[in-house]
Amino acid sequence: MTKLFTATSAMTLCIASAAMAEAPSKADVLDTYANIAEAKYDDSLIAAKILQTAVNALIADPSDATLNQARAAWIAARVPYQQTEVYRFGNAIVDDWEGKVNAWPLDEGLIDYVDAAYGGPTDENEFAALNVIANPSFELSGETIDASEITPELLGETLHEADGIEANVATGYHAIEFLLWGQDLNGHGAGAGNRPYTDYVQGDACTGGNCDRRSQYLSAATDLLVSDLEWMAAQWQQGGEARAALLTNEDAGVAAILTGMGSLSYGEQAGERMRLGLMLNDPEEEHDCFADNTHNSHYYDGLGIQNVYLGSYTRIDGTPVSGASLSDLVIATDPSLDTEMQAKLATTMQALGRIKSTAEAGFAYDQMLEAGNAGGEALIMGGVNGLVDQTKTIERIVSTLELDQIEFEGSDSLDNPNAVFQ
C-alpha cells in the first residue's frame, strides 16, 4: 500500500510538473524562429550556388550529362527553399520580395518558344507569348525595349511582372525550371518537360533557335536568384532587417509565426495550389509543372510549417538548429492544444508524404489531377484536408495565446486605408 501510494504520488508529481512546464520567453521563441529562417535562407543560397555552377557547366558544355546535373541541382535547391515559404505571409519583408524568386503560375511563352497549343496573347495578358529569347527588341506599354543583351537587370526590372501582370514571371525558380525542362507536353500522361540539351548548343546544332540568347537568359536568371537569396539571407542575420522587424514587438512577432503558418496552410497551399488544380483538372495547374516536382514542393512547404512550430530544423549539411519553440509556448498555456497541433501537423505530413512517395514511385502529380482519377483525387484531398484541419488549430492557438488583436494590426489595408491606393 505504501509502495503503491509512493508510486502514485511520484506519477502525480510528474504529471504536475509536466503540466506546469515553464513557458519559454517569447524573445527566445522568436530567436529560434529567426535562427531557423537564417539557416533556411542560407541553405537556399548554398544550394542556389551549386545550381549556378551546374548551369555554368551546362552552358559551357551542353550535353545530356550537364543538363541532368543542372536539373538535379535545381531539384535539390527546392528542398531548403520550400521550407522557407512559411516565413512569407507573416513577414512583410519576405512577402514583398518573394515574387522575384518563386512567382507562380507563369505564362512561360513570355520567356521562350512554346507549343502551338499554348496559344497567343490572352485577355488577361498581352505578353503571354512575347518570347523574349527570340526577340531582341519589343514594345512594352508603349515603350520600345532593348533586349539585345539579356541581363539580370532586364529580367528583374523590365520583364518581371511586365505590364503589371503577375503571370509575367521572368525570374526565379520557375523561370529557371522552364529553361531547364521546357513545357511538359504529356498532359495527364507520364513524363515531365523534355527540353533537349541542344537548346543550349551554340552554332548549327542549336535547336529551338537563339541558343546564345537562351544561354544568356538562363545564366542571368540564375545569377539573379543567387543575388536575391544572398540579400534575404542577410536580412535574417544578427542585426538584419527581417530579424529586427520581428523583434520590435514580441506579441506581434509570435502572431507573425502563426499568420505565416495559417496563411500558407489554408489560402495558399490547400486552396490555390492544391484544391484549385484538382477542381480544374488541368495537368499544368501544379506548382513545379515543368519538372514534375510538385510532390516535393508541397511536401517541403508542409515540413517548413511543422519545423517552425516545433522550433527544430535540420540543415542541408545535417547540422541541427533548434531552441525554444512555439510548441513550448503553447504547452505552458494549454498542453492538450499543443498535442492537438502536433498530431495535426503529423497527419498533414503523412498525407503529403503519401503524395510524395506515390509520385516517386511513378504516379506523377499531374496524373493525379486527371478528371475522374479517384486515387489521385484522394491523395491530393488528403493533403488539402490535413492543411485545412491544422488551420483550425492554428486559429485556436491564436485565441489561446491571446494574440487576437495583434493579428488585425497586420493588415495593410485595415491599418492604413490609403495603402490600397498606392
Q: Interface residues with another protein (CB under 8 A)?
A: 89, 105, 122-124, 141, 163-164, 166-167, 262-269, 271-272, 275-276, 279-282, 371-372, 391-392, 394-396, 398-399, 403-405, 407-408, 411, 413-414, 417, 420-421
Distance CA 249, CA 72 (A): 41
| Residue placing its CB nearer to another protein in the complex, 350 or 399 | 399
Do 129 and 167 meet the contact criterion of CB atoms below 8 Å apart? no
CB atoms within 10 A of CB 381: 16
Q: Is the peptide bond before 283 cis (omega within 30 degrees of 0)?
A: no
Q: How far is the CB of 390 from another protein (least distance, A)?
A: 11
Distance CA 301, CA 340 (A): 20
Q: How far is the CB of 148 from another protein (least distance, A)?
A: 26
Question: Would you call 348 helix, strand, or coil by DSSP?
Answer: helix
In this structure, what C-alpha cell is assigned to residue 201? 548548343
What one-character DSSP code corresponds to residue 1? Answer: -
Distance CA 48, CA 67 (A): 16
List of residues 6+ apart from 213 with CB closer than 8 A:
133, 134, 136, 150
Q: How far is the CB of 340 from another protein (least distance, A)?
A: 10
| Residue placing its CB nearer to another protein in the complex, 61 or 404 | 404
Q: How far is the CB of 39 from another protein (least distance, A)?
A: 24
Question: Would you call 171 helix, strand, or coil by DSSP?
Answer: coil
| Residue placing its CB nearer to another protein in the complex, 182 or 262 | 262
Q: How far is the CB of 56 from another protein (least distance, A)?
A: 32
Q: How far is the CB of 375 from another protein (least distance, A)?
A: 14
Q: How far is the CB of 309 from another protein (least distance, A)?
A: 15
Query: Which residue stretches of 236-290 are H helix?
Result: 241-247, 250-263, 276-280
Distance of CA 57 to the CA centre of its chain: 26
Distance CA 92, CA 150 (A): 30
Q: How far is the CB of 93 from another protein (least distance, A)?
A: 17
Do 337 and 396 meet the contact criterion of CB atoms below 8 Å apart? yes
| Residue placing its CB nearer to another protein in the complex, 28 or 268 | 268
| Residue placing its CB nearer to another protein in the complex, 149 or 163 | 163
Cα angle 250, 332, 346; round to 5 = 95
Q: How far is the CB of 162 from another protein (least distance, A)?
A: 11
| Residue placing its CB nearer to another protein in the complex, 28 or 284 | 284
Do 274 and 365 meet the contact criterion of CB atoms below 8 Å apart? no
Q: How far is the CB of 84 from another protein (least distance, A)?
A: 15
Q: How far is the CB of 76 from another protein (least distance, A)?
A: 25
Which residue in 298, 276, 313, 278 sits closest to 352, CA to CA? 298
Question: Would you call 312 helix, strand, or coil by DSSP?
Answer: strand
Helices (H) and strands (E) counted in the chain, each on its own, are 17, 4
DSSP string, 101-152: HH--S--GGGTS---GGG-S--SS-TTTT--TTT-SEEEETTEEEE-SS--H
